[in-house]
């Protein structure tokens, strides 16, 4: 073994080079100086030296002997290399953690220290620095949380969303109990919430023409806040209406006693009350008239009897016109439905004339829902109602079209073929992939993508509910008959899917469950995604026109129940929620399109 040559220099590597580095250097130099490639005069000589060097350095025994005779230090062992690299990594992580802490990047510093302590739990003072970073991060997060809560609380306070403001102020007090300003704001919000609730109750009784109940609440508001909204004027209106009702009752008694002169005086008083702010004193209750003595001279002739009947008819018509504030030539003004309690309809709802059209993209039959108001949510009269469905409230919606059924596999596959949609999670499962079955296994984003491709959109929660129950607040799409497998694919006690397993039925399988506007399967079969974020307190402050749901959230609303639900969720007002990425074999959807018929 010649010692006059430096084999490391020939291969252009360091004496501590690893075997793989030596092999890589040999390959590189072989390609460069191979005689078939390099035609320079010394290529052959260089190639011989390269081969000779590689033969020595690639053999561990020969290399060790060569290094010993040349006086090179022994190559670093694998264990020594790993120890050295570990110490370098620990030092680097420590310095990085300290640097991030100095920049107040606490979360990043904590992540670096966690990695460092995972390698060496006792490295220098890393545990103490990690704890300091954690405390600083928690302090900053607490400050940010307080700032966010304060911003939300004040926004709700200014917007008069009192309950939301109260909840935020309470959370601020929990995080910072020493802030006296929050206590003041919380007291004020609670007071305003009480007044707002009293006002809402009073307005409800005004709509129900329960004048005395309205008066009690308006007077309570004025005793606490004399200048609250328009309470003084509304109290005067309620009092006027109560006076008119009392006068009308008294006049009716006079007419029944055939005391027509007194009845005519009451009629004149009603005109005065209606046309001015003057409230006359309560008139005395009429006493029953003494019965006439029966004699032939006092018996009315048929002409007299006819005259009395005519007078009675005229008086009744007159009272009706006066109470409604109309002349005989005026048309009555529609009165909006009450926002609170609605009597349950006991018969099946009559179906409106159904208007349909066919969507261009997927061939879906759509039904028309006209513009107007409807009752949304549930009242306390519904024993099955959940808190998130209350209070029942009046909502106005613009006209729209809604898919008659859930989107089917056949329709969804058109979107997949157009490469606009991803395949269903159950596309290859014969239990769920029938052409006429609703497409299932879709999360909220999948449903939204399809509706956009079809040039439509997911329905809002309000649109879905109106299409399901109509305008009168009926319990189910078909009316108020108890839910059963006669109307919906559900579990009515016979088992899931009406006792036929866990797969959805073809759409439209229960035509007796059709809604007022012609929509099918609005109860049972599969849950349906709608556009809104879920908030169980949203109804308390939701807009009265075209509500779009909360601006943000963690859960999305689902409607309509599925094949494994009972009558509770088959109700049109029932609300369900899941995260937008949840999928299931009983999750489907339908779309809407905005526009007139």
The confidence score (pLDDT) of residue 75 equals 60
Within 8 A by CB and 6+ apart from 583, the residues are: 425, 441, 442, 443
585 or 290, higher pLDDT: 585
pLDDT at 217 over 60: yes
- Residue 172, both tokens: 């601020």
pLDDT tens digit sequence for 100-110:
999 999 999 99
pLDDT reported for residue 279:
54
DSSP category for residue 593: E
Give the pLDDT score at 71: 77
What pLDDT score was predicted for residue 90?
92
Model pLDDT for residues 344-397, shown as the tens digit of each residue: 332 334 456 788 999 989 999 999 999 999 999 999 888 899 899 999 999 999
106-119 and 78-102 are packed helices; what angle lies between their axes, rounded to 10 degrees?
A: 160
Tens of pLDDT along 3-22?
Answer: 778 888 888 888 888 889 99
Task: Convert the pLDDT of each residue in 399-420 to its tens digit.
Answer: 999 999 999 999 999 999 999 9
Tens digit of pLDDT for each residue in 140-192?
Answer: 888 888 888 888 888 998 898 989 989 988 888 888 887 777 788 888 888 89
Whether 253 shows a pLDDT value over 90: the answer reads: no
Band of pLDDT at residue 77, cut at 50, 70 and 90? low
Peptide bond into 438 cis (omega under 30): no
**Strand, coil or helix: what is 170?**
helix
82's CB contacts (< 8 A; 6+ apart) are none
Angle between helices 162-175 and 180-207 in degrees, nearest 10: 160
Say whether pLDDT at 560 is over 90.
yes
Put simply, whether the predicted model's pTM sits higher than 0.95 gets the answer no
* Distance of alpha carbon 414 from alpha carbon 506, whole angstroms: 18
CB atoms within 10 A of CB 332: 8
- In the numeric block, which tokens belong to residue 366? 């759509």
Q: Which of 70-74, 315-319, 478-482 has the lowest mean pLDDT?
A: 315-319
Among the listed ranges 46-50, 80-84, 104-108, 440-444, which one has the minimum average pLDDT value?
A: 80-84
**Residue 313: its pLDDT value, please?**
41
Q: Say if residue 458's pLDDT is above 90.
A: yes
Identify the pLDDT of residue 504: 95
The confidence score (pLDDT) of residue 329 equals: 33
Structure tokens at 574: 């029932």
Question: What is the pLDDT at residue 299?
Answer: 36
H helix or E strand, kind and range, residue 553: none
Higher pLDDT, 511 or 268: 511
**236 vs 529, more confident:** 529
DSSP assignment of 59-105 equals: SHHHHHHHHHHHTPPPPPPHHHHHHHHHHHHHHHHHHHHHHHHHTT-
106: Cα separation from own chain's centroid: 34
Cα–Cα dist 117/89, whole Å? 12
Cis geometry, peptide bond prior to residue 182 (ω within 30 degrees of 0): no
Q: What is the pLDDT of residues 322-349, one digit of tens each?
A: 444 433 333 333 333 333 222 233 233 4
User: Quick check: 524 and 561 in contact, CB under 8 A?
Assistant: yes
The secondary structure of 357-390 as a DSSP string is: EE-TTT--EEEEE-SEEEEES--TT-TT--GGG-
Share of the chain above pLDDT 90, in %: 47
* Angstrom distances, CA of residue 371 to CA of 6, 395, 467, 545, 593: 94, 11, 11, 11, 13
Please give the helix or strand (H or E) that residue 228 lies within, else none.
none
Question: Please, are residues 16 and 25 in contact by the beta-carbon 8 Å criterion?
Answer: no
> Which residue do the tokens 């779309």 mark?
591
CA distance 347 to 481: 7
**C-alpha to C-alpha distance for 558 and 589, rounded to whole angstroms:** 9
Coil vs helix vs strand at 234: helix
Q: What is the pLDDT of residue 364?
A: 94
pLDDT at 302: 34
Taking the C-alpha atoms of residue 241 and residue 373, their distance in angstroms, rounded to an integer, is 26
Q: How many Å is the Cα radius of gyration of the chain?
A: 42
Average pLDDT over residues 442-454: 96
Confirm if 572 and 513 have CB atoms less than 8 A apart: no
**For all residues of the chain together, what is the average pLDDT?**
83
Question: Between helices 43-57 and 19-33, what is the axis angle to 10°?
Answer: 160
């Amino acid at each position: 073994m010649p010692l006059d040559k430096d084999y490391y220099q020939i291969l252009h590597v360091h004496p501590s080079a690893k075997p793989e580095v030596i092999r890589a250097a040999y390959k590189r130099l072989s390609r460069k100086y191979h005689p078939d490639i390099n035609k320079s005069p010394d290529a052959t000589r260089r190639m011989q030296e390269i081969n000779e060097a590689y033969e020595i350095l690639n053999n561990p025994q020969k290399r060790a002997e060569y290094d010993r005779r040349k006086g090179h230090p022994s190559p670093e062992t694998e264990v020594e290399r790993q120890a050295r690299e570990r110490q370098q990594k620990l030092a680097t992580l420590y310095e990085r953690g300290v640097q991030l802490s100095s920049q107040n990047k606490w979360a990043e510093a904590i992540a670096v220290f966690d990695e460092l302590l995972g390698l060496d739990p006792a490295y220098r003072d890393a545990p103490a620095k990690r704890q300091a970073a954690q405390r600083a991060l928690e302090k900053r997060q607490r400050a940010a949380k307080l700032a966010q809560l304060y911003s939300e609380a004040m926004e709700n306070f200014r917007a008069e969303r009192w309950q939301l403001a109260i909840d935020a102020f309470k959370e601020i007090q929990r995080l910072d109990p020493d802030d006296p300003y929050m206590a003041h704001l919380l007291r004020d919000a609670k007071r305003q919430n009480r007044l707002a609730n009293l006002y809402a109750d009073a307005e409800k009784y005004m709509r129900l023409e329960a004048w005395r109940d309205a008066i009690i609440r308006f007077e309570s508001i004025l005793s606490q806040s004399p200048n609250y909204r328009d309470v003084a004027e509304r109290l005067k209106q309620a009092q006027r209406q109560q006076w008119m009702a009392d006068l009308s009752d008294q006049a009716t008694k006079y007419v029944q006693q055939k005391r027509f002169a007194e009845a005519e005086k009451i009629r004149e008083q009603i005109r005065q009350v209606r046309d001015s702010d003057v409230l006359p004193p309560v008139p005395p209750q009429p006493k029953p008239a003494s019965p006439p003595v029966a004699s032939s001279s006092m018996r009315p002739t048929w002409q007299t009897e006819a005259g009395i009947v005519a007078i009675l008819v005229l008086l009744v018509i007159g009272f009706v016109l006066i109470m409604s504030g109309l002349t005989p030539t005026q048309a009555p003004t529609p009165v909006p439905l009450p926002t609170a309690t609605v009597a349950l309809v006991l018969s099946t709802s009559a179906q409106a004339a159904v208007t349909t059209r066919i969507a261009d993209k997927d061939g879906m039959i759509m039904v028309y829902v006209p513009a107007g108001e409807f009752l949304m949510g549930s009242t306390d009269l519904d024993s099955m109602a959940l808190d998130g469905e209350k209070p029942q409230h009046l909502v106005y919606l613009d006209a729209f079209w809604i898919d008659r059924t859930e989107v089917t596999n056949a329709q969804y596959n058109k979107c997949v073929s157009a490469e606009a949609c991803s395949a269903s999670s159950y596309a290859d499962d014969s239990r769920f992939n029938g052409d006429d079955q609703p497409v299932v296994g879709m999360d909220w984003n999948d449903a939204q993508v399809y509706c956009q491709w079809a040039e439509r959109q997911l329905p809002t929660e309000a649109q879905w509910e109106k299409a399901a129950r109509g305008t009168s607040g009926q319990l189910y799409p078909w009316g108020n008959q108890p839910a059963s497998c006669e109307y919906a694919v559900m579990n009515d006690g016979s088992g899931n899917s009406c006792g036929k397993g866990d797969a959805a039925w073809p759409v439209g399988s229960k035509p007796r469950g059709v809604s007022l506007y012609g929509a099918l399967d609005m109860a049972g079969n599969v849950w349906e995604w709608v556009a809104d974020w879920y908030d169980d307190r949203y109804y308390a402050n939701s807009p009265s026109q075209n509500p779009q749901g909360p601006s943000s959230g963690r859960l999305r609303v689902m409607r309509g129940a599925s094949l494994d639900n009972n009558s509770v969720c088959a109700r049109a007002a029932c609300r369900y929620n899941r995260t937008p990425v949840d999928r299931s074999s009983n999750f489907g959807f339908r779309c809407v399109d905005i526009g007139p018929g």
